[in-house]
Amino acid sequence: MAYFRQAIYMPLLGFIWHTSNVRGIIPPVVNNFSPRRCLIVLTSFALFGALLMGACQVEGPEHSGTLPSTTGDAGLTVVPPTPFQSINQTPTASVVNLWLSPALPDKLRTRMVDLVDQGAGGFQLAGEPSTAQVKVEPGGEVRIAEWVYSLVAPFPTVEDGMSYESLHALWSGEGQEGKRIFLTKDVFEAMSAVMGIPSRSRVHITAPEDLLERAWEERPAYAIVPFEDLEPRWKVLELDGQSPIRKNFDRDAYPLVASFGISGDTEKAVQLRAAFGPPFSNYDPNKLTTLVMTGVTALTRATAWRMESHGIGYPGELIGEWLSEADFAHVSNEVPFFSGCPAPDPVQEKLKFCSDPSYIQLFVDLGIDLVELTGNHVWDYGSEGLAFTLDLYRQYGMEYFGGGEDLEDSFQTVRLEHNGNRLAFLGCNWIGPKYAWAGEEKPGATPCDWERLREELRILNEEGYLPIFTFQWSELPAPSPAQEDAFRDAVDAGAVIVSGSQAHQPLGFAFHQGGFIHFGLGNLFFDQMQTYELRQEFIDRYVFYDGRHISTELLTALLENYAQPRPMSPSERSVLLERIFVDSGW
């Protein structure tokens, strides 16, 4: 029982010894305990003290004496327990609470979280800004990133843009009754820092996976997305004439740019800034590539007649900048150049076409890089005419595809690289005539050998190229079921863009398995003015960024004087877009 009493005494006496100045009244019996035994017993008391106190009576002091020092044994230093540090508690000197604003884009947030996980600077994430010594937020004192956002709408939107004043009015709930803006939570926070408090009746936070579908369902509607989230089903709208998908984009003049920085403890902010590395952005013009693709070109008949009287450059005078400004410009030239080509006849009835070799200067002036040979008139002047034409293209450094010197050459794919984007071009002639197709030892257009073309598309995808596939189909006022199936098959085989080069009037669009389809663009340079629809033209401007097709901008023109397309007026453009979007089932 004496030992049992000692076990009871020790926790109590240890407590008294640490909390009073009267160590001399403690029974000398404790001197028989080693310091380590005292600590063990002390710990035991925390769990069983209540039970033991009920079982025994503590006797009063019988002897005087002192307890040994707990620091006397170098192996037994008692360290007071460190209180649990919750995420919102004031940190210890060695830990720095870091708050990340909900406005941070995913890429920037991930980079910050990675730094914390790597133990950089002793930072830990804080749940509230009030508990943080350092914050990463819009603005911020030490700038680390700049983010470009895009005002977008569903692709079948007629409107092309607005002023920032109009956007701000809509954001504030004052303009464009009935229209709404959809965005994700992080974009909502970032844009609130840029444009102020929004109207919750006009501005709606939407889950990232639902954003595109929600905007399409709510048409007409807008969305604001980070530049890196652009994809072809969005139409990028310009603001005050500026658009981030254009080569002349001026970030300083564009309102939807947010900067992010570090605020708070100066020393720790500088430390975090050093660990973060150089400032970065989601927009780099050195990763951007633009391509313009066009419809039928036939420098013959009345078009050639106008060129003879007004100059070789006449057809491209009003829309030439659209082509020359692009990194790559395409034409589907259906007519061979031929040294013995007769003088142009504007009322020629015979459908045997050629162009004077001097007309190649039009392509040179427009900066044409790619010539498609799938047209059904490439054989109009036989092997001699087509061989001459191919030599002319090579002389001026123009790549050709969809046809060639013989069957093997006709299947050769044009591969181009620019700003890290790898583009590949191939196409075929489905409609014929068969005599226009290339043979084993005969020049001509590429026949649609699907087994071979599918294999080529597979290889291109494996090599990291973005394949653009073109068709010469039958001329119809609307795509047939067979045409729709073939164009979708090309996407299934690996093409990211499928374009119909045969149409003399514009046809509709489709999206399929991530691919963009345009069934027909209409003419570019050809003399057909019999109907208004034949005068309407699309020039498709494709934008690639960081190895992806991110946007398609529809340029629209109207043919004048049998030879010269001009940009459409806003009302003419609206008429065409509304009709084509309806024809597309939208």
pLDDT band for 178, please (50, 70, 90 cuts).
Answer: confident
Q: What is the mean pLDDT of residues 394-413?
A: 98
Please indicate whether residue 82 or residue 346 has the higher confidence score (pLDDT). 346
Q: How far is CA 532 from CA 61, 301, 528, 561, 576, in A?
A: 116, 19, 10, 13, 10
Among the listed residues 486, 398, 403, 490, the one whose alpha carbon sits nearest the alpha carbon of residue 439: 403
- pLDDT for 156-174, tens place per residue? 999 999 999 999 999 999 8
Answer yes or no: is pLDDT of 68 > 50.
no
| Cα atoms in the 13 Å half-sphere on the side-chain side of 449 | 15
- Calpha distance 497→515 (Å, rounded): 6
pLDDT band for 63, please (50, 70, 90 cuts).
Answer: very low
- Calpha distance 297→375 (Å, rounded): 9
- Calpha distance 557→575 (Å, rounded): 12
Bridge partner residues of 428 (DSSP):
471
What's the pLDDT score for residue 380?
97
Q: What is the mean pLDDT of residues 191-198?
A: 95
Q: What is the mean pLDDT of residues 455-480?
A: 96
Please give the structure tokens belonging to residue 326: 């692009």
pLDDT band for 93, please (50, 70, 90 cuts).
Answer: low
- Ordered by where they begin, the domains of the chain are 2-55 (no CATH), 89-283 (3.40.190.10), 286-555 (3.60.21.10)
What's the pLDDT score for residue 177?
73
The residue written with tokens 């499928």 in the block is 498
The most confident of the ranges 30-44, 57-71, 458-472 is 458-472
The lowest-confidence range among 3-12, 306-315, 326-335, 470-479 is 3-12
Q: How many CB atoms neighbour CB 570 within 10 A?
A: 9
Residue 479 CB contacts under 8 Å (≥ 6 apart), including other chains: 473, 487, 500, 507, 508, 519, 520
Fill in the amino acid letter for 211: L
Return mean pLDDT, the chain: 87
Residue 48 CB contacts under 8 Å (≥ 6 apart), including other chains: none
The lowest-confidence range among 1-15, 18-32, 58-72, 147-161 is 58-72
Q: What is the mean pLDDT of residues 248-254?
A: 96
- pLDDT for 530-566, tens place per residue? 999 999 999 999 999 999 999 999 999 999 999 999 9
Q: How many CB atoms neighbour CB 33 within 10 A?
A: 20
Please give the structure tokens belonging to residue 219: 């048409």
Question: For residue 80, is the peptide bond before it cis, meaning its omega torsion is within 30 degrees of 0?
Answer: no
- Calpha distance 164→507 (Å, rounded): 33
Helix (H, G, I), strand (E, B) or coil at 166: helix
Helix (H, G, I), strand (E, B) or coil at 134: strand
What's the pLDDT score for residue 414?
98
Query: What is the pairing mode between strands 444-445 and 421-429?
Result: unpaired
pTM, entire model: 0.83
Please give the structure tokens belonging to residue 247: 């080569």
Q: What is the mean pLDDT of residues 375-394?
A: 97
Answer yes or no: is pLDDT of 107 > 50.
yes
Question: What is residue 82's DSSP assignment?
Answer: P
Q: Torsion angle of alpha carbons 161, 164, 169, 170, nearest 10°?
A: 40
Residue 160 CB contacts under 8 Å (≥ 6 apart), including other chains: 237, 238, 573
Element (H, E) at 236: strand 234-236
Element (H, E) at 136: strand 134-138
- Read out DSSP for 313-363? TGGGTTTHHHHHTSSEEEEEE-S-B-TTPPPP-TT--S----B-GGGHHHH
pLDDT band for 94, please (50, 70, 90 cuts).
Answer: confident
